[in-house]
Amino acid sequence: MEPATEPPQSASRRGFYLPVPLKFGLALTIAIAWTLLSIRLSLPWLSDLSRLVGRPLAIGMITFIAYVPGFMNGFLISTILLDRRPPRRRPDQYPAVTVLVACYNEGANIEHTVTSLARQDYPGPMTVLVLDDGSTDDSVERAEAAIAAAEPRPGHSFRVVRGERNVGKAGVLNRGLAMTTDALVVTVDGDSWVYRDAMAQLVERYLSDPPGTRAVAGAVLARNSRQNWLTRVQEWDYFHGIAAVKRMQSMYHGTLVAQGAFSIYERTALEEVGGWPQSVGEDIVVSWALLERGYRIGYCEDAVVFTNVPDTFAQFARQRKRWSRGLIEAFRASPRLLLKPRLSLLFIWWNLFFLPLDVVYTLVFIPGVIAALFGYYHIVGIMTLLVLPLAILWNALIFRTQHWMFKRQDLKVRRNLRGFFIYVLGYSMVLQPVCVWGYISELAGLRKSWGTK
């Protein structure tokens, strides 16, 4: 996440500076070079597979098993190596913000969310609206009890807004948006713990980012990662995968999603695009609506919120299916982004490639792994081992980057080796079939709903 032009005093302090377009060109060149090398090395594999399924199908299979993922990893690694976070600017006076906490049947979590917001050290005025969406549990009572027990700093106020009926997450957020006149609006999920200085750092990043920035995504990490094997694996997904992609996108002014779990928006920009749309992926759809108008979305890697990730496979599948459906919704709502000339255009097409990548991985690679167990190595064999060095390098780089960020925040990376090995070796075999299910559900027009996850 870097400004298009670096202030002279900052450039002298940080030494030699490479402009963002040049960094983009370098990363792209390295990724293309790696892809060309992969093609050269894979020719024997292509020849063997062509004899089995025909050359056109073999090219398609290997493209989405090896070439496209290799390009993506090469570009991501290069970007992380070139990335230099610009300093945040601390204003003389912090602007007023309204925090919208969407809450539906969060009786087990909402007290913690309210408490974490009451402990924020944000220096400016802050209004927190807990927006109940017709909860059928004791969410409202628990939220009100937490507010009564809280001791927020002067200038911070809390209020519960009861919802008589369930209108969905987008509906309840729009209700809250209509209740505020503050220039800045922050969204927080009702099962999250906002780290002590996250609100201040999120606002500082917004104020420091280049002109045209209309939203900034915070860093969402797993809170309940010690619950079982599934939450342990998701800890690495949030800590490594999601964080790395957002860092990469933000450096080229192209963060694609200001996620609802923790992001800041300009109120007028939200009103310009009609607020949050009625969709299962309301955060990605509203983000793409902002991008389609030429606005920028940033990323604040050290504005940290910890959220409860799904702890059962059914919850996990529903969440990731919803995210996949949201991606299709975003393409339908903002198709012109596919042709909008800007550095972030690469990431729009990158997301478009997720569809064939997930389909090929599910229908070709996973069966190929099973076939390899029985001695048939046409799809998964020695050539697939060539991706391991790149995967090891990628994971080492992002771990180092995230570890430094944690250290600056007085946080510690907990040991989770078992979760890491499952994340590296088996997570995609669970995740990508679920994503395919989501794509099919959206394209088939199946029923949508907002649940607790």
pLDDT higher than 70, residue 453: no
Residue 320 to residue 137: CA distance in whole angstroms = 25
User: Residue 393: its pLDDT value, please?
Assistant: 78
Residue 196 lies in a domain: yes
CA angle 106, 240, 417 (to 5 degrees): 90
Residue 109 to residue 376: CA distance in whole angstroms = 49
276 band by pLDDT with thresholds 50, 70 and 90: very high
More confident call, 414 vs 22: 22
Residue 351 to residue 152: CA distance in whole angstroms = 41
Query: Using an 8 Å Cβ cutoff, are 138 and 125 in contact?
Result: no
Q: Which residues contact 92 (CB under 8 A, 6 or more apart)?
A: none
386 band by pLDDT with thresholds 50, 70 and 90: low
pLDDT higher than 80, residue 199: yes
Query: Using an 8 Å Cβ cutoff, are 175 and 86 in contact?
Result: no
User: Residue 419: its pLDDT value, please?
Assistant: 87
pTM of the model: 0.89
Residue 225 lies in a domain: yes
Residue 378 to residue 125: CA distance in whole angstroms = 62
User: Residue 449: its pLDDT value, please?
Assistant: 65
User: Residue 287: its pLDDT value, please?
Assistant: 96
**CATH number of the domain that residue 107 is part of:** 3.90.550.10
Residues 309-317, mean pLDDT to the nearest whole number: 94
Residue 181 to residue 164: CA distance in whole angstroms = 24
Query: Using an 8 Å Cβ cutoff, are 7 and 330 in contact?
Result: no
Residue 205 lies in a domain: yes
Question: Quick one: what percent of the chain has pLDDT higher than 90?
Answer: 63
Residues 416-433, mean pLDDT to the nearest whole number: 88
pLDDT higher than 50, residue 7: no
pLDDT higher than 70, residue 9: no
Number of structural domains, the chain?
1
pLDDT higher than 50, residue 59: yes
47 band by pLDDT with thresholds 50, 70 and 90: very high
Mean per-residue pLDDT of the chain: 88
Residue 53 lies in a domain: no
- DSSP assigned state of 452: -
Structure tokens given for 412: 């510690």
- Which residue segment(s) compose the domain that 288 sits in? 97-339
pLDDT higher than 50, residue 8: no
User: Residue 406: its pLDDT value, please?
Assistant: 83
385 band by pLDDT with thresholds 50, 70 and 90: low
2 band by pLDDT with thresholds 50, 70 and 90: very low
User: Residue 452: its pLDDT value, please?
Assistant: 41
Residues 210-231, mean pLDDT to the nearest whole number: 92
pLDDT higher than 90, residue 173: yes
pLDDT higher than 90, residue 361: yes
Query: Using an 8 Å Cβ cutoff, are 49 and 62 in contact?
Result: yes
Polymer length of the chain = 453
Residue 250 lies in a domain: yes
26 band by pLDDT with thresholds 50, 70 and 90: very high
pLDDT higher than 50, residue 342: yes
Residue 185 lies in a domain: yes
User: Residue 251: its pLDDT value, please?
Assistant: 87
Residue 166 lies in a domain: yes
Residue 67 lies in a domain: no
